[in-house]
Amino acid sequence: MKSFDYVMTAPEGIHSRPAGALVKKAQEFESEILVSFGGKSANARKLFALMKLGVKRGDTVSVTAEGADEELASSAMADFLASHF
C-alpha cells in the first residue's frame, strides 16, 4: 500500500467539476484508491462519495492506493492533485 497527504489549494475544494476529473484519473488504475478526510473515506472512482467528503481549500486529505499498480497510481494521483487541486 502506498499513501501520501495532500493539502487542497483549489479554491473550491473537491466539487463536482474537479471531482469528475479526479474520478476519471482514478479509473485509469487497477488499484483501489481511497481519499480520506475528516474520519470519512471515499473511493476515488465514486463521484458522489468524493463530493460528499466536503473537502475545502486548506483541508488535508490522505490518499492511499492498494493493488497491482499502486506505485504508479500513487505517484500519478499525487501529480494530478498537485496540478488540479
Which positions touch another protein (CB under 8 A)? Answer: 11-12, 15-17, 20, 23-24, 43, 45-49, 51-52, 54
Nearer to another protein, 20 or 62 (CB): 20
Cell reading at 69 = 499498480
Q: How far is the CB of 73 from another protein (least distance, A)?
A: 18
Q: How far is the CB of 45 from another protein (least distance, A)?
A: 7
Q: Which of 4, 10, 12, 15 is catalytic?
A: 15
84 is catalytic: no
Q: Are 66 and 1 in contact (CB under 8 A)?
A: yes
Q: Are 4 and 74 in contact (CB under 8 A)?
A: yes
Rounded to an integer, what distance in angstroms lies between the CA atom of residue 20 and that of residue 50? 9
